[in-house]
Amino acid sequence: MSSSFLGAYPRTRLRRNRRDDWSRRLVAENVLTAGDLIWPVFVQPGDGQRQPIAAMPGVERLTIAQLIDAAGEAQALGIPCIALFPATEPALKTEDGREAWNEGNLICESVRALKRHLPDLGVLCDVALDPYTTHGHDGILVEGHVANDVTVEALVRQTLAQARAGCDVIAPSDMMDGRIGAIRDALDAAGFEHVRIMSYAAKYASAFYGPFREAIGSKRTSNRPLDKRGYQMDPANSEEALREVAFDLEEGADMIMVKPGLPYLDIIRRVKDRFHVPTYAYQVSGEYAMLRGAMDNGWLDERVVLESLMGFKRAGADGVLTYFAIEAAKRLKAG
């Protein structure tokens, strides 16, 4: 026994409080509940069958009718909010992504349907052009590069269409400079001062997004892998993330998101410690695919679902966007 422990051992035994379930719960430093979860859902047009996503086993694209049923289950489990992402028909995709601000588009119709059937369920809408562009980038290309200011103008139009449909939370994921201020001003001017903004403030140019791009059909451009390093953050940087968050809060963001999640727990911790604002993590498609694949092959116990989500809470996240939301909420309910 090291001399540094003399005087504490054996009177102090940290295992005492770990002995029983009731005492473990009593001294738990962090708590994960269904109320901490936001469920991302992929919506598809038409009234056909659910479409499995090969790179995300267990995740499916849903029609609007199927979405209503699934969202009702989520709400019954205590999940407070769902996030919507469209699988846009290729014929509707254009260079400028104009379908994004069509008030009859798939997302706007989905929001209206959800608000008719489940008015008390929160609805979060992604704001970016990648589901709607032929090239798969998050903005409008000018001379081969995503142009910041013209893209912000398009994002404002997209935001207002979603707000008019009844969206509760606008979540810009594009990483354009100045878009939070422009969106906040436009919402307020149009009478939507109650609509919240959850900014993807620290969104990294990550390799963990691949399955998501398959799900919405924006995986490749000109037969080459998408390269979004011109506007998404360098995984090597953390001080830059704090600057991004500071700008977005100053411009009017109500909540902040860090994306991806597990590889960036240090960023979540730094953001929470610095700003003390509602902070969220996105457990992205690649993270889901890794854990799901390992569980399905028997390499990992399914307890890793709740363990990974608790990791976000411990790092300082107030909530998590996760494709495991339904599964996690059921596990939490079962105890």
Summarize pLDDT for 121-145 with one digit per residue, the tens: 999 999 999 999 999 999 999 999 9
CA 152 distance to own-chain centroid: 20
Question: What per-residue confidence (pLDDT) applies to 5?
Answer: 54
Q: Is 93 a catalytic residue?
A: no
Question: What per-residue confidence (pLDDT) applies to 224?
Answer: 62
Task: Tell me the average pLDDT across 241-258.
Answer: 98
Q: Please name the fold of domain 31-334.
A: TIM Barrel (3.20.20)
Question: By mean pLDDT, which of 4-13, 46-55, 276-285 is the weakest?
Answer: 4-13
**Could you give the CA distance from residue 318 to residue 255 in angstroms, rounded to a whole number?**
10
Q: Considering 93, 203, 228, 272, which one is annotated as catalytic?
A: 203
Question: What per-residue confidence (pLDDT) applies to 10?
Answer: 80
pLDDT band at 26 (very low <50, low <70, confident <90, very high): very high
pLDDT tops 60 at residue 318: yes
pLDDT tops 60 at residue 1: no
Question: Mind listing the pLDDT tens digit for each residue in 182-192?
Answer: 999 999 999 99
Question: What per-residue confidence (pLDDT) applies to 297?
Answer: 97
Question: What per-residue confidence (pLDDT) applies to 213?
Answer: 86
Question: Mind listing the pLDDT tens digit for each residue in 251-283?
Answer: 999 999 999 999 999 999 999 999 999 999 999
pLDDT tops 80 at residue 43: yes
Phi-psi map region of 276: left, alpha, beta (phi>0 left; psi -120 to 50 alpha):
left
**Could you give the CA distance from residue 9 to residue 94 in angstroms, rounded to a whole number?**
69
Task: Tell me the average pLDDT across 147-162.
Answer: 98
Share of the chain above pLDDT 90, in %: 90
Tokens of 182: 């422009």
Share of the chain above pLDDT 70, in %: 96
CB contact set of 153 (below 8 Å; sequence gap of 6+): 182
pLDDT band at 327 (very low <50, low <70, confident <90, very high): very high
The overall pTM is greater than 0.85: yes
Q: How far is CA 251 from CA 4, 49, 186, 248, in A?
A: 51, 42, 12, 5
Residue 192's closest CA among 159, 220, 221?
A: 159
Question: By mean pLDDT, which of 90-99, 145-154, 219-228, 251-260 is the weakest?
Answer: 219-228
Question: What per-residue confidence (pLDDT) applies to 202?
Answer: 98
Q: Considering 93, 259, 272, 313, which one is annotated as catalytic?
A: 259
Domain ranges of the chain: 31-334
Establish whether 193 is an annotated binding residue: no
